[in-house]
Amino acid sequence: LVATCMFGLERFLGDEIDALGCKRIETIDGRIIFEGTEKDIAKANINLRCAERILISVGSFEARTFTELFDGVKALPWEDFIGKDDAFPVNGWSINSQLFSIPDCQSIVKKAIVERLKTKYSLNRFAETGSEYKIRFSIHKNLVTMMIDTSGDGLHKRGYRRNSNDAPLKETLAAAMCDLARIYPDTILFDPFCGSGTLLIESAMMAANIAPGLRRYFAAERFGFIPQKVWQEERTRAQDLIRHNIEFQAQGYDIDKACVELTLENARKAGVANYIKASVADIADFTPPAKRCLTITNPPYGERLLDVKSAEKLYQTMGERFLE
């Protein structure tokens, strides 16, 4: 299996994979390769906080020509995954390789899979009306890796944030920030720039041990070779591991009333509204609480929100308020 992530989050994702009881094989920029069963596909999709996608690695080979690409793809056991009625769209990327035309590579890969399945199913045409198996290829320094996407929508889409502010923080990055900050069931957390509430919500989910994928659907739930029982059992297991009646508290502030309302709405959708409060406030009025607490935030930094001079002034105010 292959778990992809944002560059820089490999350490956090690796620790999560270890915690699931899976064996890591290799760590590459933006991805971790690990061993897993059908059950682990469900477990990884539902539980990993820092992963972007979980993919099945069908095989790897070197290719410098379209002929080598075609032959390499055709030699792989696609019939072990794709049924005769299933759909299999193709997408991918290429970096530092002789095969650099993505449209041409997509066409060759598709044709090779079709030719393989024609032989196995004794068919000349595929309707592709069944379950969808998204084929993803990567070509890096002429090494081709063929994969099947089990996640569907990226795993940062937890299902609670259908709406966001103008500069949303990706949920997977927010989860890594919370992991680095060491969130516990009794943490008291503040975010003076809460935006749509992502940091507050990810922290609350982590404190309560709520699996990030518990409230969403995954592409592999329609894969014929993974029994529905596997998904049901893993969701039940994740549900049973939720911590209830914890002392975690999170308080968010934002100068924009719409952001505050959005934070509270998203917290309700995520099932953590009882742990999160939010109100309208300017950073200039922020006073660190007397009792021990933790502050995690993603303030404007002069790119998508504010200009550079405004951001510099804002950071000066932050320094003054945080040091009080």
Given this model, what pLDDT does residue 99 score? Answer: 97
Mean predicted confidence (pLDDT) in 158-183: 85
The residue type found at 89 is: P
Given this model, what pLDDT does residue 51 score? Answer: 98
Given this model, what pLDDT does residue 316 score? Answer: 82
Alpha carbon 49 to its chain's center? 7
Mean predicted confidence (pLDDT) in 254-277: 95
CB neighbours of 217 closer than 8 A, spacing ≥ 6? 152
Q: What whole-number distance in Å separates Cα of residue 261 and Cα of residue 280?
A: 9
Question: Whose structure tokens read 């059950």?
Answer: 39
Specify the 3-state DSSP secondary structure of 200. Answer: helix
Given this model, what pLDDT does residue 63 score? Answer: 98
Gyration radius from the chain CA atoms: 23
Band (193; pLDDT cuts 50, 70, 90): very high
Q: What is the dihedral of CA 203, 208, 214, 215, to 10 degrees?
A: -70
Q: What whole-number distance in Å separates Cα of residue 147 and Cα of residue 188?
A: 42
Is the separation of the CB atoms in 188 and 249 below 8 Å? yes
Mean predicted confidence (pLDDT) in 16-38: 96
Q: Is the dihedral of CA 212, 132, 89, 82 positive or negative?
A: positive
Tell me: pLDDT of 307 over 90: no
Mean predicted confidence (pLDDT) in 35-44: 97
The dihedrals phi and psi of 161, each to the nearest 5 degrees, come to -115, 70
Q: Which two tokens stand for residue 140?
A: 């890096």
**Which of residues 309 and 280 earns the better pLDDT score?**
280
Band (314; pLDDT cuts 50, 70, 90): confident
The count of residues in the chain is 324
Average pLDDT, the chain: 92
Tell me: pLDDT of 304 over 70: no
Kindly report, residue by residue over 152-163, the tens digit of the pLDDT: 999 999 989 876
Mean predicted confidence (pLDDT) in 16-20: 97
Mean predicted confidence (pLDDT) in 107-129: 96
Q: What whole-number distance in Å separates Cα of residue 250 and Cα of residue 94?
A: 43
Exposure on the CB side of residue 298, measured as CA atoms within 13 A: 23
List, as one string, the DSSP characters of 82-103.
--TT-B--EEEEEESSS---HH
Given this model, what pLDDT does residue 122 score? Answer: 95
CB neighbours of 261 closer than 8 A, spacing ≥ 6? none
Exposure on the CB side of residue 32, measured as CA atoms within 13 A: 26
Tell me: pLDDT of 50 over 80: yes
Percent of the chain with pLDDT over 70: 95
Q: Which two tokens stand for residue 123?
A: 């068919």
Given this model, what pLDDT does residue 202 score? Answer: 98
Percent of the chain with pLDDT over 90: 84
Given this model, what pLDDT does residue 161 score? Answer: 81
Is the separation of the CB atoms in 113 and 135 below 8 Å? yes
Given this model, what pLDDT does residue 78 score? Answer: 97
Kindly report, residue by residue over 213-240, the tens digit of the pLDDT: 999 999 999 999 999 999 999 999 999 9
Given this model, what pLDDT does residue 318 score? Answer: 76
Q: What whole-number distance in Å separates Cα of residue 76 and Cα of residue 245?
A: 50
The residue type found at 101 is: S
Q: Which two tokens stand for residue 100?
A: 């650099």
Q: Model's pTM, two decimal places?
A: 0.91
Kindly report, residue by residue over 121-138, the tens digit of the pLDDT: 999 999 999 999 999 999
Is the separation of the CB atoms in 161 and 266 below 8 Å? yes
Given this model, what pLDDT does residue 251 score? Answer: 95
Q: Which two tokens stand for residue 51?
A: 């992963």
- Where helices occur in the chain by DSSP H, the ranges are 10-19, 38-47, 66-74, 102-121, 171-181, 198-207, 228-240, 257-270, 308-322
Mean predicted confidence (pLDDT) in 149-178: 87
Given this model, what pLDDT does residue 321 score? Answer: 74
